[in-house]
Each structure stands twice: as C-alpha cells, then as structure tokens.
Amino acid sequence: MGNDRNTFSIKFDKVCEVLDKHECSPNKLIAILQEIQEEYKYLPEDIMTYIATALGISPGVVFGVATFYSHFALEPKGKYVIKVCDGTACHVRKSKDILQTLEKELGLSGKKKTSDDMLFTLETVACLGACGLAPVVVVNDEVHGSMTKEKTIELISRIREQERQEMNK
Amino acid sequence: MYMKTQTAVIDNFTIQIEDEKNLLELIRKANIELPTFCYHSEISVYGACRMCMVEIEGRGIVPACSTKPEGGMVVHTNTAQIRKMRKMIIELMLASHDQSCTTCPKSGDCKLQNIAKQLGVDKIRFKQMKTHQELDLSSDAIIRDPGKCILCGDCVRVCNEIQSVGALDFAYRGAEAKVVTPFNKGIGEVECVNCGQCVKVCPVGALMPKYHINDVWEAIHDKSKTVVAQIAPAVRVSLGEYFGYKPGTTTTGQIIAALRRMGFDKVYDTSFSADLTVIEEGREFLDRYSKNENLPLFTSCCPAWVKYAEQYYPDLLSNLSTCRSPQQMFGAVCKEQLVKDLKISREDLVVVSIMPCTAKKFEARRDEFKTNGNPDVDYVITTKELSIMIKESGIEFGKLELSSFDMPFGFTTGAGVIFGASGGVSEAVLRFAAYSLQKGFVGEFRQFRTGDRTKVSEIEIGDKKLRLAVVSGLANAKKVIDKIRKGEEHYDLVEVMACCDGCINGGGQPVSNASNAVADRAKGLYDNDKMLQFHVSSENPYIKQLYNETLVDDKAHRLLHTTYENRRRILQDDIIINEVPENKKLEITICFGTSCFLRGAQTLYTQLMEYLSERELLGKTEFTASFCGKQCKKGPVISINGKNIEHCTLEMAVAEIEAVLRLKM
C-alpha cells in the first residue's frame, strides 16, 4: 500500500479485513468489535452500523453488546489511558485521593472521562492484581506503584513535557 | 404405543398434563391466573420478572414459565414465602418506576398497577429511584417513556422475533441496563416500522401510541371546519370490548351514533375505499399476470409492511402493488369530491381516520399523500383513542340509538369488510378476479380463513392457475420472501400484513385477556360480509358511479396509486474515509447500504483503493462512504466527481476515473 494513504482510510480497510477474516459471522461479533476497537481505539457509531449491515443483524444488537462490556468504548479515548485501581487493597490505601488528584489536574469529572486536548482518558478498574504495589496507576501499559498525590502530579507533568517536546520537533 | 397419562397436583388439585409447553400454562389450565409481566405464549420465554415463581415440593422455588411440567409434581402457587416475595418484587419495581400514575395514559389497564392492587401492595418500603424522564417524541406513531420501563423485554422480543426488525434492544449493564433504540436515537429515526406490537405487549406506559385526540377535538370545535370520519373494518368488531361487549361483537351502529354525537359532520366507511383498492389491485394483478411481469405482486395495504419492504427489500419494490392503502384512497377521493360537493376549500375539510393501527399515523404523514402540503388524511386515531374520546364525552355507548353511514362513501360490499383479517385482501381480490373473468359471482375463497400465519394455496380461475401466499407477522413474511429470492418458491400474489392475523390484531387495538379474542374478531368480520348484499367489490354501485363521474381521465391513477422509496434503516451522516484538504482531483462516494453491500460494494472498494494506490492518486482522492443513496436496485452504486455509476464494476470505475483525469489534464 502507498504511503499517501491517510489513517482513516487505512482503518477502514482494516474494518473490511476484519469482517472478511471472520466471514461476516454474527457469532464472531465480540471478536470483530475487539479487533476494530484496536484500530480506532473506540467504536464509532457509523462503523457499528456498517458492522450490523455486514453481519445481517440489527444495529441494536451491536449497540447492546458494545454497551454491555466495559472493555468497549463508544467515545474516542485520549492518547494516554490512565487506569486507577480501586480494588480492595488500593482502596484502603487511599486510591480515591489519587483519583481526585487526577480529576482536578486533568479537568475531569465523573461523566467526563477524556481531557479536552484528547491527551488523557481517566478510568477506574476493580483490581489489577498488583496489590503489593497499592495504590496502583497504569498509564497505557506502564505500571506505577505506591502512588502518592505528589507522584501523580509529577507523572502528569512528565507526560505533558514529553508531549511538548515532541510537538516542537 | 401405550402412554401412561401423567398428572400433577397444583394447590391440592390434580390435573392431567397434556402438551403444555411449561408449568405456567399447566397452572393456567388449573384456573389459577399467576401474575406475570414477561410471559407471552407467542414469544420466547425470558424468565425475567420472577412473578410466576412457584414452589415445587422437593425442588424449591422455581419460575413456572421456564419449568417443564413433569408427572408427579406437587406445586404450591401461593405459600406465605411466595406471597411475600411477589409483593417485594412489585415494591422494587415501583421504586424504580416513574410513579406519575394518575396522569399516565396507561392508567387503568396498566399491568403493574393491576398486579400491585391484586397482590395488596399498600406501601413501598424503598426509596423511589426513578422519576420523570424525557419522552421520545420523534415518531409519528409511537411514544417512548423510558421512566416507566420495567425491563421485562417484551417489546424487544416481539420486535425481534415476531417482526424481525429489532429496533429495540437492551443496552448497558446491571443497574444501568435500559431498553433503547440503536445509539439512543429517537424511535422515529431508526428502523421501527410503527406496527405497534411493542405497544400492545408493553405491560406499563413505557410504549404508547402517539395520541391525536386533542387535534381531533380542536378540529371538531372549530366551526369553520367540516370534519368527516372514516372507520376501518377492524374497528367495528373490537371497539365494543372497551364497553363490555365480547370480542367480535359488531358495534358499527353505536360507533357511528357516537361519532355524530361528538360532532363529526359525516361518518364514512373505509371498507368503501377497500372496495376501490380491490378493483385497482385486482386489475393491476390481472395485467401483470397476463404479461408475466413483476410477479409476485405484493399487497400494499399495510403501511408497516411497506416501510419494512422499503428498508430491507429495495429490489422488490417494483413487485409491490402501486395501489394506495384504503385509508389513503379514501382521503384522496374524499377530499377531491367533497370539496366540490360541499363547495368548501380543501383546508376546511378535515379527514379523521379511525384505525386499528399505529403505522397508519405514519402513513398519513408521508409526503406522497399530500397535495400542496395539505394531507389527504389529517388525523389518525386508533380504536383505543376513539374509546377514550367516547368516554371523555360521557356518552353511554351501550344505550345509543344506532345510526348508519353517510352516502356515498358509506356503502360497502362484504369484500371491503373482510380486509381487516389476514387473508381478507386476497379473498376479495380473488372474488373480483373470478367475477371479472367468469362474468358473475363465483363464490367465497375460504382457503385463507385458517388461523395459520403462512397460508399457501393454489387456485384455478377459468384457465388460470394461481399460486398465492398469505402471511402475517413480518418474520413470517421474511421467510417467504427469502425463499422467493432464492428461487425456491414461486407465487403470483403475496398478501403481507405486519401484525399477526391482520389488522384485527393491530397495534391500536384493545389488549384482550381472552385467548380467542382475535379469532372472534375475524369471525365478526366474516359475519358482516355474510350480512351484506354484495360480496364482490365491483358490484358496489357507488364505486361504479365514482369511476364514471369522478375518477375520469388520469384521476384514477393520480388519486389511487403511489410510489415507494428506498429507505435508510437509520438516519445518519456519511463518513469521509479519506480526507484530502487541498489539490483534490477526485471525489468518490461509495454506497455501503445493505443492498450495495450484498452486491459487492466492499470488494469494489478494496479493488479501487489498490488501483488508486498504484496510480499514486490516493493523496488526491476524497473517499466518502454513504449508508444508502436510495438507488438500491442498481447497486453497487458509486459516484465519481458527481457522476453516478450504477451496477458498478472495477472496470467501469477505472474508465470513469481515467476520463475525469484526461479532462483535468
């Protein structure tokens, strides 16, 4: 494929590829949604309608499945997805404080999960299985243990600085 | 083979097990009415509401609807524990229910209200969690009130299993679970066909017909307006149920009298225009049959079916009869002629339809049925709404002195009356065809009067051998159509009614607890047919007069026929796949609607992309995906710099692209 293809079109090609791979079988709906979310980082509405058309099912079924599993996102996520663990161990070690710090720092609230600059998405998870490191924060695939308010603010500033440098390049 | 009869004991009463599908049916046979929200014998068992819990000795407490009856079962339906549980479930449901019961349109026949009363729920111990939520008013036919929903899922299953539409489904999870339309759009913006079967099964006020009662009152009270009513066949054999009559009782005389008392200026019969439909459709059928063209002919009286076909079977739209439905034929003819007879302006004549149907509300608003913006039918009210208006007027329905229809649009033959039952349209058309071909009344065609929902019959009329299918319920229709498309079946005529058993079971009809209510209504219609002097539509003298005096020149075609459009399932914008800010040479739009998809749009897209990439044109091409350009029969359709290419192949697209490029050079 040429280098002049822009990203959306490559993603749409991927949708076609995923549908072909699963032979447009309605039984593979969850797998199809997973693979498509990997491309788009979320599930766009028009793509879900397209999937329904291709699978010969009602768009309502696709929407039902997509909203049932917390794994699926219906809105675009930021470049950095921050997961704050609120499992028992993290909870007793004051993960709430970390969460509030992040919300304040990123200008987010309960319903608003992604920052306006599309850089950060904040989520909570029930347990990451790293209780020894409680409280734990995961940024994309990077684990940060024994978090404090100060360390959290520092982490955010570091990412922002890194982004600034990349912009100036 | 010897089979030992099996019995079960239900509340100290021994009962024989026959072929009951589940324990709930067996308990009902023992004359115990267990409360339930989510059990309907015609749709799948869901087991969600937990109201039908019973105790089986040795097995504990189980839901009766999803338990198979077995010999030797000892069942208790009313133990102290079960009573307590049921009450608690109702309390919990009420706590998460918008309790504005006094002003709820469902009040009085709400199942939640009735069961709460039946079980003696006199207080709710839990904090109210759900209060008023915004109504979904996007549809002309159906209103959704999510605050009332109790998540029984009846609407979801009816829409999916009986109608194979799936406009409603569960979404989200746990305490957040809701019944929604796809992407939370309005129900008027998705693939809902307005049949109203969800309204019929909804135990509470979460799904209601959109009432037009106030519009009708306003027209009646406006002295400058002449307000006329048309009454559909099915209404006359069911309205009485709201006033204590048995299902199937004909109350035409009372209905007409009530409408006159309420202030309607004229009362006419939709069966009159059904006679007109029979003649037009009969001629259309005989014409197509002799030319062997566009067969099978699909009937077009049912607006829910028409919308369904427009959405899912664009390739079959030329098989759909071009005849308007009786409601719309009536509106067009009535406004054409009455305006002249009464010397009034079209705007001052208000036509009100009384229909068993919610989809008719949608149909009346279609652009095809307007003249200079003025609709042929101004308002449609359902059987239910008429009952409300009569009660509101304080009229004692049972004591009314009977009255009869106005002429000329009040005269009907029996053929026009049986339209209300599934099979009626076919029978009426066959009577007309036989009468025309053999010059005289040949007889009834009773093949289609069975209770089956897919009825197939071969009929010989003169030297013609016709193969007909009569289906009701859109899921059944889908099965028949899929076979026709695959070439496995051939029919000359297919009658489709969206609601099972036809209009008598429409979305605007009374909800009856009697198991044979719908069959009784059908019998009522066939009895009406028997009582009338004429049984073939072309014998109707006023129809003959209409053809001679009013429907001259091109008027029959203009007033009685219509066109159809390919329709998107869901309203949404196109997506730009490949965005090119400047220097663009090519703009390509490719349709990814259902029909084009099936015709290979995706393969075409992939091939085109490869081609453009080889030619190093991708940076100069803006690609847009459309979700139905409404050209479905000609798919796959793509547009290159504004030029539409139908039945497009890679070669055709490439030729056009090269032509465009040569021009630009």
Q: B611: buried, middle or exposed (CB in 10 Å: 19+, 13-18, 0-12)? A: middle
Q: A81 at the B interface (CB within 8 A)?
A: no
Question: In this structure, what are the phi and psi dihedrals at residue A136, rounded to the nearest 5 degrees?
Answer: -110, 140
Look at residues B97, B72, B230 and name the one whose alpha carbon lies nearest to residue B151.
B97
Residue B400 phi/psi, 5° resolution? -65, 145
- Would you state the pLDDT for residue A10? 66
Spell out which residues of chain B touch residue A16, defining contact as CB-CB under 8 Å: 602, 605-606
pLDDT of residue B211: 96
pLDDT the model gives residue B343 = 93
Statement: residue B523 has pLDDT above 60: yes
> Any chain A CB within 8 A of the CB of B172?
yes
For residue B307, give both structure tokens: 């919308």
How many Å apart are CA B17 and CA A28, to the nearest integer? Answer: 41
Contacting A residues, span 121-160, partner chain B, CB-CB under 8 Å: none
Contact B7, B14 (CB under 8 A): yes
Pairing of strands B454-461, B621-626: unpaired
> Is 60 exceeded by the pLDDT of residue B396?
yes
Q: Does A59 touch chain B (CB under 8 A)?
A: yes
Would you name the residues of B annotated as active-site residues? 281, 284, 301, 321, 360, 363, 368, 503
Backbone dihedral angles phi then psi of residue B397, each to the nearest 5 degrees: -55, -45
CATH topology of domain B575-664: Glutaredoxin (3.40.30)
Give the nearest partner residue to B170 out of A6, A53, A64, using CB atoms.
A64
Contact of A9 with chain B, judged by CB distance below 8 Å, is answered with: yes
CATH of the domain at A145: 3.40.30.10
Span B409-423, mean pLDDT? 94
* Cα–Cα distance list, B664 to A152, B584, B585 (Å): 57, 11, 8
Give the side-chain half-sphere CA count within 13 A for B664.
Answer: 12
The CATH number of the domain holding residue A54 is 1.10.10
Q: What is the pLDDT of residues B335-383, one digit of tens each?
A: 999 999 999 999 999 999 999 999 999 999 999 999 889 999 999 999 9
Q: Which residues contact B422 (CB under 8 A, 6 or more apart)?
A: B448, B453, B470, B471, B472, B495, B497, B500, B501, B502
Q: In chain B, which residues have their Cβ closer than 8 Å to the Cβ of A61?
A: 166, 169
Residue holding tokens 């319903």? Answer: A111
Residues of B in Cβ contact (< 8 Å) with A52? 182
Q: What is the pLDDT of residue A2?
A: 35
Question: Does A61 share its domain with A20?
Answer: yes
A48 vs B: CB within 8 A = yes
* DSSP class per residue in B61-117: EEEGGGS---TT-EEES--HHHHHHHHHHHHHHHHTS---GGG-TTTTS-HHHHHHH
Report domain extents, chain B: 6-78, 89-209, 231-560, 575-664
Distance (Å, whole) CA A55 – CA A49: 10
Same-domain pairing of A31 and A110: no
Alpha helix ranges (H) inside A107-142: none
Considering the domain architecture, whether residues A47 and A98 belong to the same structural domain is answered as no
Q: Decide if A58 and B191 are in contact by the 8 Å CB cutoff.
A: yes
Cα B662 to Cα B665: distance, rounded to the nearest angstrom? 5
Whether the upstream peptide bond of residue B636 has omega within 30° of 0, thus cis, is: yes
Can you tell me the distance from the alpha carbon of B237 to that of B252, in angstroms, rounded to the nearest whole number? 8
pLDDT at position B573: 64
A73 domain-assigned: no
CA dist., res. B587 & res. A57, Å (int): 31
CB-based contact B171 A68, cutoff 8 Å: yes
pLDDT in tens, A55-78: 989 999 999 999 999 889 898 888
Is pLDDT at B664 greater than 70 in this prediction? no
| DSSP characters over A26-79 | GGGHHHHHHHHHHHHSS--HHHHHHHHHHHTS-HHHHHHHHHHSTT--SSPPPS
Q: Is the same domain home to A90 and A144?
A: yes
Q: How far is CA B301 from the centre of its chain?
A: 11
Distance (Å) from the alpha carbon of A45 to chain B's nearest alpha carbon: 7
* d(CA B43, nearest CA chain A) in Å: 18
Query: Tell me, which fold does domain B6-78 have in CATH?
Result: Ubiquitin-like (UB roll) (3.10.20)
Asked whether residue A84 falls in the same domain as residue A64, the answer is: no
Q: Which amino acid is at A139?
A: V
Is there a contact between B166 and A58 if contact means CB atoms under 8 Å apart? yes
Please, are residues B209 and B358 in contact by the beta-carbon 8 Å criterion? Answer: yes
Of B447, B405, B457, B505, the closest CA to residue B199 belongs to: B505
Q: Judged by CB atoms within 8 Å, which residues 570-609 of B form the interface with A?
A: 570, 572-573, 575-579, 592-594, 597, 602, 605-606, 609
User: Helix A45-55 and helix A29-40: axis angle, to 10°?
Assistant: 150
Q: Cβ separation of B183 and A8 shorter than 8 Å?
A: no
The string of pLDDT tens digits covering residues B265-305 is: 999 999 999 999 999 999 999 999 999 989 899 999 999 99
d(CA B529, CA B535): 7
Instruction: Report CB contact under 8 Å: A54, B578.
Output: no
Q: Is residue A164 part of a domain?
A: yes
Beta partners for B381? Answer: B354
- Residue B332 above 70 pLDDT? yes
Encode pLDDT of A76-117 as tens digits.
888 899 999 999 999 999 999 999 999 999 988 878 888 888
- Tell me if B89-209 shares its fold with B231-560: no
pLDDT band at B515 (very low <50, low <70, confident <90, very high): confident
Nearest to B572 among A19, A46, A69 (CB): A46
DSSP state of B136: B
Across the interface, whether the CB atoms of A58 and B605 are under 8 A apart is answered no
Of the residues B184, B618, B622, the best mutation for testing chain A's interface (the one with the most A CB atoms within 10 Å of its CB) is B618
> Looking at the complex, does the CB of residue A75 fall below 8 Å from at least one CB of chain B?
no
Whole-number average pLDDT of chain A: 87
Q: Using a CB–CB cutoff of 8 Å, tell me whether A10 touches chain B.
A: no
Inform me whether the C-beta atom of residue A62 falls under 8 Å from chain B C-beta atoms.
yes
DSSP 3-state assignment of B17?
A: strand
Q: Do A8 and B579 touch (CB under 8 A)?
A: yes
Residue B569 scores a pLDDT above 90: no
Residue B329 to residue B320: CA distance in whole angstroms: 16
Nearest to A50 among B160, B592, B610 (CB): B592
Tell whether the model's pLDDT for residue A5 goes beyond 70: no
Which residue, among B576, B489, B330, has the nearest Cα to A44 in the 3D structure? Answer: B576
Beta strands in B233-387 (DSSP E): 266-269, 297-298, 349-355, 370-371, 374-375, 379-382
Identify which of B172, B592, B609 has the shortest CB distance to residue A68.
Answer: B172
pLDDT in tens, B187-246: 999 999 999 999 999 999 999 999 999 999 999 999 999 999 999 999 999 999 999 999
Is 50 exceeded by the pLDDT of residue A3? Answer: no
Give dist(CA B103, CA B110) in Å, integer: 12
Q: Tell me how far apart the alpha carbons of residues B243 and A125 are, in angstroms, rounded to a whole number.
A: 58
A8 touches chain B (CB under 8 A): yes
Question: From edge to edge, which strands make up the β-sheet containing B643-645?
Answer: B575-578, B621-626, B586-591, B638-640, B643-645
Measuring CA to CA, how many Å separate A26 from each of A161, B172, B635?
Answer: 45, 20, 24
Instruction: Give the tens place of pLDDT for each residue, B551-566.
Output: 888 888 999 999 998 8
A56 is a domain residue:
yes
Contacts for B531 with CB less than 8 Å, ≥ 6 apart: B414
Amino acid at B100: S
CA B332 distance to own-chain centroid: 22
| Rounded Cα gap, residues B631 and B633, in angstroms | 6
Q: Say how far apart CA B429 and CA B24 lie, in whole Å.
A: 42
B613 touches A at CB < 8 Å? yes
Report yes or no: B195 at the A interface, CB cutoff 8 Å: no
Give the Cα separation of B36 and B555 in Å (integer): 53
What distance in Å separates residue A157's CA from the closest CA in chain B? 34
Q: What is the largest CA-CA distance in chain B?
A: 93
CA distance B132 to B122: 22
CB-based contact A4 B616, cutoff 8 Å: yes
Tokens 């040949």 belong to B442
Q: Which pair of tokens denotes residue B56?
A: 């089986």
Superfamily covering domain B231-560: Fe-only Hydrogenase (Larger Subunit); Chain L, domain 3 (3.40.950.10)
Residue B577 CB contacts under 8 Å (≥ 6 apart), including other chains: A8, A9, A12, B623, B624, B625
Same domain, A92 and A160: yes
pLDDT in tens, B85-99: 999 999 999 999 999
- Taking residue B504's Cβ as centre, other Cβ atoms within 10 Å add up to 31
Q: Cβ of B160 and A58 within 8 Å?
A: yes
pLDDT mean over B403-425: 94
Asked whether residue A29 is assigned to any structural domain, the reply reads yes
CB contact under 8 A, A60 and B168: yes
Cα separation of the two ends of chain B: 87
- How far is the alpha carbon of A6 from chain B, nearest alpha carbon, in Å? 6
Q: Which of B582, B598, B609 should we substitute to test contact with A (largest number of A Cβ atoms within 10 Å)?
A: B609
- In this complex, is the C-beta atom of B367 within 8 Å of any C-beta atom belonging to chain A? no
> Do A95 and A160 sit in the same domain of this protein?
yes
Please answer yes or no on whether B183 and A54 come within 8 Å at the CB atom: no
CATH of domain B89-209: 3.30.70.20
Is position A100 within any domain? yes
- Of residues A16, A50, A63, nearest to B183 (C-beta): A63
A11 belongs to a structural domain = yes
Contact A85, A94 (CB under 8 A): no
The answer to whether A151 and A101 have CB atoms below 8 angstroms apart is no
Residue A12 pLDDT class (50, 70, 90 cuts): confident
Residues 6+ positions from B147 with CB-CB distance below 8 Å? B97, B98, B130, B131, B132, B133, B206
For residue B52, the one-letter residue type is: C
Separation in Å, CA of A54 to nearest CA in chain B:
7
Cβ-based contacts of A1 with chain B (< 8 Å): 610, 613
Determine the pLDDT at residue A29. 95
Cβ-defined contact of B623 to A53 (cutoff 8 Å): no
Q: How far is B287 from chain A (nearest CA, A)?
A: 36
Q: Which residue has the tokens 């028997």?
A: B530
Nearest to B619 among A4, A16, A52 (CB): A4
From the list A6, A68, A70, the residue facing B578 with the nearest CB is: A6
Which chain A residues touch B167 with a CB distance below 8 Å? 58, 60
- What's the per-residue H, E or C state across B165-215? CCCCEEECCHHHCEEECHHHCCHHHCCCCCCCHHHHHCCCCCEEECCCHHH
Q: Are residues A104 and A155 in the same domain?
A: yes
Q: Flag if B578 and A68 touch (Cβ within 8 Å).
A: no
Please check whether residues A85 and A123 belong to one and the same domain.
yes
The arithmetic mean of pLDDT across residues A24-51, rounded, is 90
Q: Which domain holds residue A85?
A: 80-168
Domain boundary among A48, A68, A88: A68
The torsion of the CA quartet B481, B483, B484, B490, rounded to 10 degrees, works out to -120
Q: Are residues A85 and A155 in the same domain?
A: yes
Chain B residues in contact with A13 by the CB 8 A cut-off are 606, 609
Within 8 A of A58 by CB-CB distance, chain B residues are 160, 165-167, 169, 182, 191
Measured between beta carbons, which residues in chain A are less than 8 angstroms from residue B160?
Answer: 58
Which residue has 């509401």 as its token pair? Answer: B49
Percentage of residues in chain B with pLDDT exceeding 70?
96
Question: How many structural domains does chain A have?
Answer: 2
Higher pLDDT among residues B358 and B485, named by residue: B358
Mean pLDDT of chain B: 90
Same-domain status, A64 and A90:
no
Q: What are phi and psi of B159, to 5 degrees?
A: -65, -35
A57 domain-assigned = yes
Domain co-membership, A32 together with A104: no
- Integer Cα distance of B501 and B471 in angstroms: 8
Is residue A12 less than 8 Å (CB to CB) from chain B?
yes
